Amino acid sequence: MPPIPAPPHHLTFCPANEGTSTASTTPGFLCESGGFAGVYLLHRLRQEGFNVKIAEAGSALGGIWYWNNYPGARVDSPWPVYQLSIPEVFSTFEWKEHYPGSAELQRYFEHADKVLNISKDTLYHTRVKAATWDDESHRWHVECDNGTKITAKFMHCCLGFAAKRHFPDWPGFDDFQGYVCHSSFWPKEGIDMRGKRVGVVGNGATGIQIAQESAKDAEHLSVFIRTPNTCIPMNQRPVDPIKAKKDLEDYIPRMLQKERFRTMGGFLYSDPTKTIKETSPEERERILQHAWDNGETPIEKLVPQGIVTADGKLHELDILALATGFDSLTGGFMEIDIKGIDGEALKQKWSGEQGALSYLGLCVNQFPNMFYTYGPHAPTAYGNGPSIVEPQCEWILKTMQLMAKDGKTKINAQAQAEQEWKKVVNELHAATVRDSVDSWYMGTNIPGKPRQALNYAGGLANYIDSINGSQEKGFEGFDLS
């Protein structure tokens, strides 16, 4: 089996304006990740006079869209909402499709870099492996896999919710003589499937995308499905350049900068005309009849020729594509040795029965001056990425400005505030169908991971009110010194 590259780690390290970082690189504010959060936060901090750097594990900007190269990879948010609200970027980029694919999103990040000169302050091929808090100097000491060392006043973890892939533990991987590739690390040059027997494991959005594209070239395609899914037509179509130009005059700026932040998921949509309870039992059965776990012939092992299922059948394969998901929302943090006050390890704190703890889906008690975006206990998996990270980044920026104004150098979430936020998250999630289902939304796709609500289900508008409300009340739930 060919080696599979390690997952990317995305962090942001953020010293204040004076730029007190030392060691082999000395930024004032280091963002690890050149994705939406890293690009936006670097841009906004530079605008406000902060000295900023990005540490990016890859060789180009894009975050998850640098790594997403599998066949059919595209976003599920329609044009024009899946982009940042930076006027000089959105007003000068021409989208081609209503549901942009990975190549177009990579082109978008290239354009953002050209307009904003993000690469000027980016350290590529720099993967963070450890970060330790010094409570005397109020600094984070950061180590990277290429030997780079950074001392920073603030640290911002923008890891993305799917930074750590889930790799199945079936026996026989080392025996399989074909090519194995996880969706998250598909080679940029692609895989030639012509005349090949291809197997796709997984039936979520990624598995479906890979399967429908692989079918065009493969000699034979086998899709291994644990849970049947429902697909609807994408309604893909080109973006009308004339309409797009007209929309730039009013609709797009208004939608990107105001309207999307007042919605449930950070993008615009039409409300359904009736609830599921208003449908007849017969109609519900027709709609939901495929939503069950088949589970009759699960994968048992790999052998040199392919996959053997529980019924003893051999499925001969040349290529095995794994769309087996991720250790979502918390997995990326577990890949980095982050130690807070008194050397407490974040991976230890979050590995207990209670699972992850945070305040406002932004900060963690005992880990001062560490912020994160698009992670646990925020609306992360329930909304549009750029719409979520922008208000989070604005909160971080304002926090740093207010701390500097008041002469504060340390901010730490209170333990009680963490428990109260966890209660809010749990109560909101308990009202959803997902709360009663074992899935990655609850962390149960990973053996041994605590079962818990990992996402804030109250909607983006309410979430923004909550995080801004803490600031407006003098940083309620935080200790500052």
Same domain? 386 vs 307? no
Asked whether residue 396 is domain-assigned, the answer is yes
Asked whether residue 2 is domain-assigned, the answer is no
Asked whether residue 194 is domain-assigned, the answer is yes
Asked whether residue 330 is domain-assigned, the answer is yes
Same domain? 97 vs 142? yes
Same domain? 121 vs 223? no
CA–CA–CA angle 184, 194, 313 (5° rounding): 75
Distance CA 390, CA 374 (A): 10
Same domain? 361 vs 403? yes
Same domain? 330 vs 476? yes
Distance CA 10, CA 173 (A): 29
Q: Which long-range contacts (CB under 8 A, 24 or more apart) does 177-180 make?
A: 177/304, 177/305, 178/306, 178/317, 178/318, 178/319, 178/320, 179/2, 179/318, 179/319, 179/320, 180/1, 180/2, 180/4, 180/320, 180/322
Same domain? 45 vs 156? yes
- What tokens were used for 135? 């409570």
The tally of domains found in the chain comes to: 2
Domain that holds residue 473: 12-165+326-480
Cβ of 280: how many Cβ atoms within 10 Å? 8
Same domain? 86 vs 194? no
Same domain? 54 vs 150? yes
Residue after which a domain boundary falls, among 271, 298, 322: 322
The DSSP string of 112-133 is HHHHH-GGGGEETT--EEEEEE
pLDDT tens string, the chain, 481 residues long: the values are 433 333 333 333 333 333 333 345 555 566 767 899 999 999 999 999 988 888 899 999 999 999 999 999 999 899 999 999 999 999 999 999 999 999 999 999 999 999 999 999 999 999 999 999 999 999 999 999 999 998 889 999 998 888 889 999 999 999 999 999 999 989 999 999 999 999 999 999 999 999 999 999 999 999 999 887 888 888 999 999 999 999 888 888 888 887 787 777 766 666 666 676 677 777 766 666 544 445 578 999 999 999 999 999 999 999 999 999 999 999 999 999 999 999 999 999 998 888 999 999 999 999 999 999 999 999 999 999 999 999 999 999 999 999 999 999 999 999 999 999 999 999 999 999 889 989 999 999 999 999 999 999 999 999 999 999 999 999 999 999 9
Asked whether residue 172 is domain-assigned, the answer is no
Asked whether residue 139 is domain-assigned, the answer is yes
In CATH, what number is assigned to the domain containing residue 306?
A: 3.50.50.60
Element of type H or E holding 86 = none
Distance CA 137, CA 341 (A): 12
Same domain? 184 vs 303? yes
Asked whether residue 236 is domain-assigned, the answer is no
For residue 374, the number of C-alpha atoms closer than 13 Å in the C-beta half-sphere is: 29
pTM: 0.88
Same domain? 107 vs 210? no
Strands 29-32 and 155-157: parallel
Same domain? 44 vs 86? yes
| SS3 label, residue 380 | helix
What crossing angle do the helices spanning 102-116 and 36-47 adopt, rounded to 10°?
10
Asked whether residue 114 is domain-assigned, the answer is yes
Distance CA 187, CA 126 (A): 19
Distance CA 275, CA 389 (A): 30
What's the confidence (pLDDT) of residue 264? 72
Same domain? 151 vs 89? yes
